[in-house]
Homo-oligomer: A and B are copies of this chain.
Amino acid sequence: MERTEGVESEIFQGNALSAVDGKSRLSIPAFIRNALIPAEPRGIYLGVHGRSPCLTVYGETYSAFLVAEQERLRLKGEDNGADPDLFEDLDRGLWGMGEKVNCDAGGRIVLGGLLREEGRIEDMALFVGRGRYAEIWNPKVAVEIGGERLQKIASFYLRQKGAKA
């Protein structure tokens, strides 16, 4: 069965495991790559997930949404007299820790050291669709701290990989 191509607007549904090699390279799985609006070069956004120890990956659409959302929250905070330093720091999380990277011809990206550390990524990267974005987990971490569904996804791949070796 062929997965419908996400020309609609960058919706990420599915899951995949990919290897991280010695150069910190990892393939962006097809279910993500095909969902991105076609462009050359193929730009992909990476960020840190605020609430869970994992990374986020998305395209132009969600990136624009995040920028708008950030601005909305800032203005709301301004009205409430919230601490501006908090928003400064959130901004640094979005723009300072995140990156826009390009896939190479083989559909791979290189994971920077900071992101790799923040996402606790070792030699495997588990991609999990979340709708407008997707998550990248260390499958071992996902099994340890994930909820029921995430555990199932992660342990499936870990078992499969164990069986192969």
- CB within 8 A of A4: which of B84, B90, B100? B100
Tell me if A89 and B148 are in contact (CB < 8 A). Answer: yes
Q: Closest approach, in angstroms, between the C-beta of A55 and any C-beta of chain B? A: 13
Chain A residues within 8 Å of chain B by Cβ, number: 54
- Does B131 contact A95, Cβ atoms closer than 8 Å? yes
Residues of B within 8 A of A98 (CB): 13-14, 129
Judge whether A128 is part of the interface by a CB distance below 8 angstroms: yes
A135 to B92, CA, bound (A): 9
Among B88, B102, B131, the residue within 8 A (CB) of A2 is B102
A91-B130, A92-B128, A99-B14 are contacts. A110–B1 as well, Cβ < 8 Å?
A: yes
